[in-house]
Amino acid sequence: MEQVDLLVVGGGKAGKSLAMAQAKKGWKVAMVERQYVGGTCINVACIPTKSLVASARRMADTRSDATFGVEGTEGAKINLNALRAHKEGVVGGMVAAHEKMFAAPGLDFIRGEAKFTGPKTIEVTLNDGGVREITGDKVLVNLGARPSMPSIPGLKEAGAWTSEDILRLETIPESLAIIGGGYIGVEFSQTMAEFGSKVTLIASGEHVLPREDADIAQQVEAGLLDSGVTIKYGVRAVSVSGKTGEASDSVSIELSDGSTVSASAVLVAAGRVPNTDGIGLDKAGIDLDDRGMIVVDDQMRTSAPDVWAAGDSAGTPMFTHASWHDFRIIRAQFNGENSECTSKAGRLIPYTVFTMPELARIGLSEDEARAQGLDIKVAKIPANAIPRAKTMRIQHGMWKAIVEASTGKILGATLVGPESGEVITALQVAIASGMTYQQLRFLPIAHPTMGEGLNILFDQLD
């Protein structure tokens, strides 16, 4: 039995960050990863998808180049080999960098599948053969999540793609049906439409992005329609027949309203589920909730002594930056740091949806604030009210902020428009520091920038 100071099961954002940090502190660390060097994000999620989004945005720009006085880009088309090389080059570079970092002194990076055999103890079946038994004084479980595959008759037999499968980019399908109108579904629908697929997005709600306010979702929908996406609202897929990729319109999807959608491929974008099954967490004394998530307290501690959990499998919002915050909470405990990151209670986690126009959000939506019975004021402007947006001839988008009526404190904001993911950080800082909307309203922000829209947005409240 091998003994280490820190045993990390899963090399995602929190796991790899903690393993490297504690190895630098002189700890003896073992980190086990069964599949992806560097975790899901850089291999089959954030990084490869945003690499494709970058290509899709360039393709979309060619449609309006003539408006800006640029000619000669008409008829632009996708080169699949070059597209794949771009994506794989970005991912490969980051994987190689991680392999180098994982070779650091004190860190034993182990490729294999771990299963708990008892408290703080695992058995690892190595990818290259053999078995190792390891126990740790402290343990971090960072198992990640995988695409959810709903139980729709015929879906599995049809060879439906997941959000990870489609990244292999073996072909650009002539037509593509996407089941799911959430964040993953809208991003892929627009990207694949820009690549030349005839895309149908099947959304079960009255609008896409069901967690967002309807007026916000409508701005994203307008962008999808501009890209050629067809949206089916208020319907569910009830059965699937045929086989993905065999021929044009080789898959038929029956919807709950009796209609059908035909496509040459089908993509399931129905969210993600935690990788907590089959690893023996019960033998380690680690409790799960009814969603299969590891139960943790505000310091990321599990029900088992000296065992912490982080990231997607611990109920953390499924964003890399949220998992990174988990890591900082745990590191502060291990090292006795006087840190702002000591608890996940009340933390503000922003997110961005990389559509055209881009959506970014922090804090409460209008619907959420009203559901809580809060007395609020709502500021709202079209994105093209911002001078910088006018220079880009932006057609769709909206900025919206929720303010506590009695204090003027900002409770939340959602931005749909260019560079929203960059501007949202200013609002995150404002909320975290307890700023009022008046402070942002009168702040002299550089002109002409998208950030200047904060002045214009909060001018609407007086």
Measured torsion, CA atoms of residues 78, 82, 86, 92, in degrees rounded to the nearest 10: 140
* Helix 80-101 / helix 13-24 crossing angle, nearest 10 deg: 30
* Helix 46-62 / helix 80-101 crossing angle, nearest 10 deg: 150
* Contact call for residues 424 and 319 (beta carbons, < 8 A): no
Task: Check the annotation: does 182 bind a ligand.
Answer: yes
Task: Check the annotation: does 366 bind a ligand.
Answer: no
Measured torsion, CA atoms of residues 122, 127, 130, 134, in degrees rounded to the nearest 10: -20
End-to-end CA distance of the chain: 69
Task: Check the annotation: does 183 bind a ligand.
Answer: yes
Task: Check the annotation: does 319 bind a ligand.
Answer: yes
Cα 246 from Cα 159, distance rounded (Å): 10
Does residue 86 carry a catalytic annotation? no
DSSP per residue, 158-173: TT-B-TTGGGG-S---
Task: Check the annotation: does 320 bind a ligand.
Answer: yes
Task: Check the annotation: does 271 bind a ligand.
Answer: yes
Q: From the candidates 86, 207, 396, 447, give the one annotated as an active-site residue.
A: 447
Phi–psi pair at 183, nearest 5 degrees: -65, -45
Task: Check the annotation: does 185 bind a ligand.
Answer: yes
Task: Check the annotation: does 144 bind a ligand.
Answer: no
Task: Check the annotation: does 205 bind a ligand.
Answer: no
Task: Check the annotation: does 216 bind a ligand.
Answer: no
Task: Check the annotation: does 186 bind a ligand.
Answer: yes
Looking from the CA of 96 toward its CB, the CA atoms found within 13 Å total 6
Give me the residue label for tokens 């994105």. 383
* Contact call for residues 270 and 150 (beta carbons, < 8 A): yes
Class of residue 94 by CB neighbours under 10 A (exposed 0-12, middle 13-18, buried 19+): middle
Annotated binding residues for FAD, as ranges?
Answer: 50, 312, 318-321
Task: Please identify every residue annotated as catalytic.
Answer: 447
Annotated binding residues, as ranges?
Answer: 50, 180-187, 271, 312, 318-321
Annotated binding residues for NAD(+), as ranges?
Answer: 180-187, 271
